[in-house]
Structure 1
Amino acid sequence: MSLQLWLAYLAAVFVISGTPGPNMLLAMTHGIHHGLGTTARSTMVGLLAGLAVILGVSLGGLGAVLLASQHAFEAVKYLGAAYLIYLGIKTWRSADQSNLDTTGRPDASGAWARFRIGVLVSLSNPKAILFGVAFFPQFLNPQQAIAPQAAILLGSFMAIETGWMCIYAGGGAKLASWLKRGQRMRWFNRTAGGAFVGAGVLLGSFRR
């Protein structure tokens, strides 16, 4: 892989990853409710695992099959859209208070649940799906060894994505005390829930 191509890839990934979407919204929301450390150990690991699955599918050639099969594409699209809408409604109706234990620290008892949510949000994220099946393969040169190229691209992507997630989750953690005043948390939950629903509608209306 040429240095010029890699730098172009880094620039594109930096912008795409940093753009607000379901993954970053979930990182920020969980940062607010559970703190940066807990979010990093559960939610962010799940988000990255989901992204790894999408990119692995793309590398395995299944992304091209998915795009070629109308029925498979529609099934994946509507399942993802339904989950994002469900998560949006649940977020809208969620409690206004952060999930804290009696010591005032983020409750880590739901780590597996947060990991699972992270995986499912990644797998249903329209931006991640489009990146994995349409954008990512364009940087692979089929005339050269795929494994080294994939390692460079995947490693770069995961590093940039992790950095942005930390920024969003850390920003959310810093906003937590401010949002607890008055009705701010309620309105934040409604805004975040509406954004998840919007992402689900966007995914459901997407046409190849």
Structure 2
Amino acid sequence: MNMACIETLPYLSELISVSVVAMFMAISPGADFVMVTRNSMFHSRSAGIFSALGVGSAIWIHVTYSIAGLALIISRSIVLFSILKYVGAAYLIYMGWKTFTSKELIDIDEPSAGNALSNGAAFKIGFVTNALNPKTTIFFLSIFTQVVNPDTPIWMQLVYGLIISLSHVAWFTGVAVFLSHPILLQRFQNSKSVIEKVVGCVLIGFGCKVAAASHG
């Protein structure tokens, strides 16, 4: 047994708990899922994968402020929580409206240049969606106050952050690959306009739900 395994043993229970919760958090339906779905189906597999990478990278913002103890401050401050909540809600409503009112039709075989979403833009969408999600903030508050012991060393908390981040990247990359499969896209093509409207409404709905959520 190497030294790293020996040092991790005292925190094995925490490690298992964080891993299980991270998995369920990643697969639970939410704004991240809808945004990755949107970019995978309406743009490209690459756009979906880079959105997944953006979501996974944004996790580190939550990890950082949780380790610093700021998650507790945010959760108890009506002003800070409200700012995060309304900015996040506005972003989701904006993206939902853009999707709902889109007039571009995707040609799966020959995507138009106007419809293309760059990898950088896709990454940014995934990053911002997760970073501004108050649901994620509350999740990290619960993890780092109820599951993680205050005496757990920083390096171990970073390991937990890595597990959470990789869980999100793995899940949403799988979602992007699955939803961008040519067979599925061909089936979606005939209903693309309707699906755009549905996805747009769902994003707007998530935004309204976030805005209406009460503090605490």
Given the two structures, how large is their TM-score scaled by the length of structure 2? Answer: 0.83
Quote the Cα distance in structure 1 between the aligned partners of 2:67 and 2:137: 13
Q: Which residue of 2 aligns with 1:131?
A: 139
| 1:202 maps to which of 190, 201, 209 | 209
Percent identical residues? 21
Aligned-CA RMSD value: 2.5
What SS does structure 2 have at the residue aligned with 1:135?
A: helix
Tell me by how many angstroms 1:180 deviates: 0.8
Question: What does 1:45-124 correspond to in 2, within 5 Å?
Answer: 45-95=53-103, 97-98=105-106, 110-124=118-132
Of residues 169-178 and 94-103 in structure 1, the stretch that sits farther from structure 2 once superposed is: 94-103
Judged with a 3 Å threshold, the aligned counterparts in structure 2 of structure 1 residues 99 and 122 are, in CA distance, closer, same or farther, namely farther
Q: Which has the larger radius of gyration?
A: 2
Shift of 1:96: 5.0
Q: Where does residue 158 of structure 1 map in the other structure?
A: 165
3-state SS in 2 of match to 1:78: helix
Q: Is the 8 A contact 2:75 2:138 kept in 1?
A: no
The letter for the 2-side match of 1:17 is A
CA distance in 1, matches of 2:109, 2:119: 14
Residue aligned with 2:180, SS: helix
Aligned length: 204
2:88 and 2:132 in contact (8 A); partners too? yes
Structure 2 counterpart of 1:11, from 10, 15, 20: 20
Matched, 1:34 2:43: yes
Looking at structure 2, the residues matched to 97 and 150 of structure 1 have their Cα atoms a distance apart, in angstroms, of: 45
Deviations 1:116-140 (A, max 9, x none): 2222111222432221233344332
Q: Which amino acid aligns with 1:171?
A: F
- Offset at 1:25? 1.4
Instruction: Return the letter of the residue paired with 2:185.
Output: A
